[in-house]
Structure 1
Amino acid sequence: MPAVGVSASAFLLFALQLAGWGHLLLALSLLGAVLVSRELAKDLALIGVGITIVSTTSVVASVDWDRFLTIGAVLLLAVLVPVAVDRLLLRRRAIRFPLRTGEPWTRLEKGYIVAVPFLGWLILPFYFITSGVYRNWPPLADGGEVARFFAGVNFVGTWDELFFICTCFALLRRHFGVWTANLLQATIFVSFLWELGYQAWGPLLTAPFALLQGWLFARTGSLLYVLIVHLLFDVVVFLAIVHARHPGAIPIFLV
């Protein structure tokens, strides 16, 4: 229950924008974890620290320089502070970022890398345009905004894997099975993406993606693999939103 409470607090904070209730639930959940298990409390506290740091600012997509830099700094701290606490205060290495395992990728794993951008090309323009949620992203009025948007999409995509998978999922896996931990991290992941802009029926896309990323990380143990998958998908996200904002600029989509 304490772990469920921590994940639910992210839903309140990011998806529902209920800061007071979200922080209260997070605090009560961490208190409950102390009563259950000291090790569980330590790991949930690290996740809670990251969630709290992210909650200090809006993560609604923006390419204005002040918001661009503020969001970037907050997201960096949400990863770096839990790592620092884990290393320096708790004297352990529960949070790690294993780029490679040395094991070759299977044919299925290679095929998935090809399938992801294809599925994104097929589905994302339809989602963004028919739901109208592309308006949750900035209008991209000039080349500078487009460049910052591209950098931001890739930065956030990388951060997603560092925080939701290598931090939240990995810490939860110390106490729960793969799918229990996966559902808990996906709740945090999808709640964040909702605030970012993936609204309307976006969770029907983001929830399976978050669950697949967790499962793939558990299967491969490779940050590099899940990162490649995510960034390939995000390239299509970038192109689809530019296409939605400026029809005809990128004539490669069906919608």
Structure 2
Amino acid sequence: MRASSKSRQTILVSFSGIDGAGKSTQIENLRSQLQQSGFRVELITFWDDVARLKRIREGAGHKLFKGDKGVGTPDAPIERRDKNVRSPLMTLVRLAIYVVDAMSLRKIGGKALRSEADVVIFDRYIYDELANLNLKNPAARFYLRRVMSLVPRPQVGFVLDADPAQARARKPEYPLDFLYANRNSYIRLSELLPGITVIPPLPLEDAKAEVVKCVMSRMFSGNPAMPEEPYSAQA
């Protein structure tokens, strides 16, 4: 199967989930499969390309909360102190920062939709920030809807589910109790927002096949657009 000249709407695909869920592995496999089929693929990393005020946010986690820097590995575990710090003040700070990120995503996502790429893959999305909120709170759910009205909705949004203990063994950065709570928040998010597909903790090759199948199905469904909150890529 080879792709011809650009004749279809650009598809946005996002990957979200707890740390250690296997997002990088799935993204690389999907990207490779699509490129081998002749599709033009663009990769956008949320933290590097979309998030704003990164130096301030990284500095707060290290200086204010005494968290470790870097990426944890099985041989060199670390203890981060950032999104797992829960307090009323930090919640207010997050609410403000996430709006800034949403406006950045609105611009970058709109540009991606107008690009020559057939598929734009997001390594994490605004979903990963919203999952840090207490989504049992009605006020948080109202905020979620307002933020989602600012950004393009991915036609395929994946949440990679994973056993928190196994995920932490692969990427030891956050306490296990936080990972359990964070996992529940992702599941809750998928129930609140249409269009999010939860990939259960399948064997690796089965999960890869399911991801590729979902994306290909959407691309060739004849109706790639998802119903959205008010949003315009021209804005």
TM-score range, shorter chain: 0.3 to 0.5
- Normalising by structure 1, we get a TM-score of 0.34
Kindly indicate whether structure 1 or structure 2 has the higher relative contact order, using CA contacts under 8 Å at least 6 residues apart.
2
Task: Tell me which protein shows more strand as a share of its residues.
Answer: 2
- Normalising by structure 2, we get a TM-score of 0.36
Task: Tell me which protein shows more helix as a share of its residues.
Answer: 1
